[in-house]
Amino acid sequence: MKRKKQENTSKGFIYVLSNPAFDGLLKIGFTTRSVKQRAKELYGTGVPDPFKIEYSKKLANAYKIEQQVHICLRKYRHKRNREFFKCDLKTAINTINMVSKQRVELLADYSNLVIVLLFIITFTITLWLTLLS
């Protein structure tokens, strides 16, 4: 699946994988398929050992959350434009949970803002109609 389509996908998984061949590195990525299937695909790319699924979380807007997680963990990034990070598992999981929680809270705030704006618009229209009659 191309990145453009992934960006528009509403649901997916963020995962954290480890591999004994990459000592101390964690792969933090996104997939719309099962994480188990993704780990198998990565093993088929010539890596000497299979990947171990350390953590996964199903999320709405998983691609965008993955991008934000990568930004938060940029100081741990092993190489630019790669999804490998030299950090401990706890840091990776905490970052995923923090970013996904903030995104949910942001959406809730946005919903409240829409309700307030609709109230203001309705009130304004009612006021104008009253003044014009």
pLDDT at 10: 66
Q: Where are the domains of the chain?
A: 3-108
pLDDT per position as a tens digit, 90-106 = 999 999 998 987 765 55
pLDDT at residue 123 is higher than 60? yes
pLDDT per position as a tens digit, 46-72 = 788 999 999 999 998 889 889 889 998
For residues 67 and 99, what is the distance between their CA atoms, to the nearest angstrom?
Answer: 10
Closest residue by Cα to residue 53 from 43, 45, 62: 43
Which two structure tokens, joined as six digits, stand for 11? Answer: 């649901």
Closest residue by Cα to residue 63 from 107, 95, 31, 108: 31
For residues 42 and 93, what is the distance between their CA atoms, to the nearest angstrom?
Answer: 21
The top-level CATH class assigned to 3-108 is alpha beta
Q: Which CA distances in Å does 51 have to 9, 18, 36, 61, 89?
A: 25, 6, 9, 24, 14
